[in-house]
Amino acid sequence: MRVVVIGAGAMGLAAALQATKDGHQVTVVEGDTQAGGMAAHFDFGGVSIERYYHFICKTDYPTFELLSDLGIEGKLRWRETSMGLYAEKKLHVWGTPVALLRFPVMGLLQKFRYGLFAFVSTARNSWPSLEHRTAKEWITTWCGEDVFKLHWEQLFRHKFYEYQDNISAAWIWTRVRRVGRSRKSMMQEELGYLEGGTETLVHALANAITEGGGKILLGQAAKQVLTENGRVTGVQTASGTIAADQVISTVPTPFVSKLIPDLSAEAKQKYDAIPNIGICCLIFKLKRSLSPHFWVNFSDPAIEIPGLIEFSNLRPLQDTIVYVPYYMPTTHEKFSWTDERLLDEAFAAMRAVQPELTKDDVIDSRVARLRYAQPICAPGFAETLPDVQTEIEGLQVADTCFYYPEDRGIAESVRLGRQMARQFSV
């Protein structure tokens, strides 16, 4: 069959690879001038680095399978990592039983409840009762209101803003479980990265697709999915029409109604109703390290960001690389701040972690922005999602919100992308 995949992010490339391997005639169309989506790299003063940081956990089985299929499993590296928590004007070690016991801000009973919460969240394989509960209610029930305010309230406020009190407990639980299971022991977290970064995977995927006879058209945004008599017939781009028997769309759901005008009004309403927030992702190249931790969360009213990622504490690099992600609705005033203003605020937060940091330590800095970076998943979110197979025959639609209750990540992109391609190969 003639297959057109819209979007050359990890999901689109995984779908295209599977369709190519199954013997179909595959064309990928991508509006950007490079493949990879949020996993694409850029040249950061001589360092090839991800636009948006990624890491691999020990339960990311679809990623491991894909690396093996591509013959690049030898590029996967594991590294001991750790977490810090900035609270009460001080950076504390966080994320281990000993760190919890030593944490001075909690009482003994609070520590016991939090430890039990973390253990159960990591150990459980399913938790269906969470689907209709808010994360705030769930965490407060287990840990108490004081602990929620100390550790979670600021994280939710500065990541979800007006949505903070209506976030799915199931969605947050799967995040806790994924990271909680990526350990070499109870005392030691361990995360993975690819030699050369995510670009290693993106290039391997693209090469495998083209070597299998597929095409990847960059700088060719899809304008419209064409249909006739309830069946997909092709995709319109600025350069012309590409005929298709099957189409897989992986663009963010806010674009779906315009991209596929022949959908029913009811179907369009479902896509339009899914809230998305944007991101301003700041990246710093520094002369000095901030801390020994991969991630540092903030629990300080004076710091209005949820945390920072010292990426070079995972992937070894010549200089210190720090990401400061600002997730927020695009209507929030900070989304319209100048790059300089965002960078200054983030620098102040980094100085709180490392007081010796000066402006002279900043080698370079960048700000990347996306209007649709993350869905907002409220309780009962699964019931609101449209089916991946649309009402139009031969047309499947999915983006990162279809991973629910799992969080966004390359492993879920690979799993769902390959699953979609296999649907019309049965």
Q: What is the pLDDT of residues 376-405, one digit of tens each?
A: 999 999 999 999 999 999 999 999 999 999
Spatial contact of 382 and 404, defined as CB atoms under 8 Å apart: yes
Exposure string over 76-106, b if 16+ CB within 10 A, otherwise e: beeeebbbbbbbeeebbbbbbeebbeebebb
Spatial contact of 11 and 253, defined as CB atoms under 8 Å apart: no
364: DSSP letter? E
- Rounded Cα gap, residues 359 and 366, in angstroms: 15
- Closest by Cα among 152, 407, 192 to 297: 152
Domain extents in the chain = 2-54+197-274+381-423, 80-193+276-375
Beta strands 276-286; 320-328: pairing state: antiparallel
Q: Percent of the chain having pLDDT more than 70? A: 100
The DSSP H or E segment spanning 243 is strand 240-243
In this predicted structure, the answer to whether residue 303 has a pLDDT above a threshold of 90 is yes
- Rounded Cα gap, residues 401 and 251, in angstroms: 11
What is the pLDDT at residue 384?
95
- Rounded Cα gap, residues 379 and 392, in angstroms: 28
How large is the angle between the packed helices 135-143 and 108-123, nearest 10 degrees? 130
Integer Rg of the chain from CA: 22
- Rounded Cα gap, residues 407 and 279, in angstroms: 16
Q: What is the pLDDT of residues 206-254, one digit of tens each?
A: 999 999 999 999 999 999 999 999 999 999 998 999 999 999 999 999 9
In this predicted structure, the answer to whether residue 174 has a pLDDT above a threshold of 80 is yes
**Domain 80-193+276-375 of CATH type 3.50.50.60:** no
Predicted confidence band of residue 426 (pLDDT cuts 50, 70, 90): low
User: What are the C-alpha distances in Å from 106 to residues 12, 96, 143, 152?
Assistant: 45, 15, 11, 14
Quote the mean pLDDT of the chain: 96
What is the pLDDT at residue 425?
66
End-to-end CA distance of the chain: 12
Class of domain 2-54+197-274+381-423: alpha beta
